[in-house]
Amino acid sequence: MRPLPRKFLGDEIILANASPDLLTPLCVSFDKKVVPVDLTGEDGQALLAAWVSSRIQMGKPAYLLQQSSLLPPGARELFRGAIGFSVLRPSVRPLPRRLERKCIPVALQRLDGLPQPADYLDVPLERGLILGTKATGFHREELFEGEPARWTNGAAKVIVACSCRLPA
């Protein structure tokens, strides 16, 4: 990955929704303060909502680095890239010998607010983490032949809280 220009974002803190083993390469790549946040649970989503709200009150945007290729409704993409690495292909017999190449998408996004339930109309929710939704049973997003996908534990579901009235 190429580093961002030093003047880009100044000394802003970037929240990162990425697996822990990617945080060090991301800190080095971006040369910024990167704070991990797990958006797969309610605590992480609440933390992000509070952070974005506090930044808006100060008249400043919030920045989110996601291990995802999906752009949340209302967000502005500032940077997109991928981290590639090799791992041993799992096997029991014979012992692992073959390397497998993996590619994990990352995107830096500017958030000027959080999406509202109506923003999710006609948005495919199964492909990746969508801010403001409650998703359980999914693993982190990966790329397969260039397309985003997520493995499930067999009992995955996505819930979008909606307090709006729908037309009859």
Q: What is the pLDDT of residues 68-101, one digit of tens each?
A: 656 677 788 888 877 777 777 777 777 777 887 7
Six-digit token string for 123: 């948005």
Q: What pLDDT digit, counting tens, does each position of 123-168 carry?
A: 666 656 666 677 778 777 776 776 777 788 888 887 776 665 655 5
User: What is the per-residue DSSP string for 27-66?
Assistant: HHHHTSEEEE--TTSHHHHHHHHHHHHHHHHTT--EEEEE
Is residue 76 in a domain? Answer: yes
In a domain, 95, yes or no: yes
Q: Is 154 within a domain? A: yes
pLDDT of residue 54: 92
Is 6 a member of any domain? Answer: no
The reply to whether 41 falls in a domain is: yes
In the chain, the number of structural domains is 1
Q: What is the pLDDT of residue 5?
A: 47
Burial 88-106 (b: 16+ CB within 10 A, else e): eeeeeeeeeeeeeeeebbb
* pLDDT, average across residues 109-136: 71
Answer yes or no: is 115 within a domain: yes
In a domain, 5, yes or no: no
What's the token pair of residue 82?
Answer: 């991928």
Give 34-58 pLDDT, tens digit per residue: 888 887 777 887 888 899 889 989 9
Q: For residue 84, give both structure tokens.
A: 């590639």
Q: Could you tell me the residue range of the domain that residue 135 belongs to?
A: 13-160
7 inside domain = no
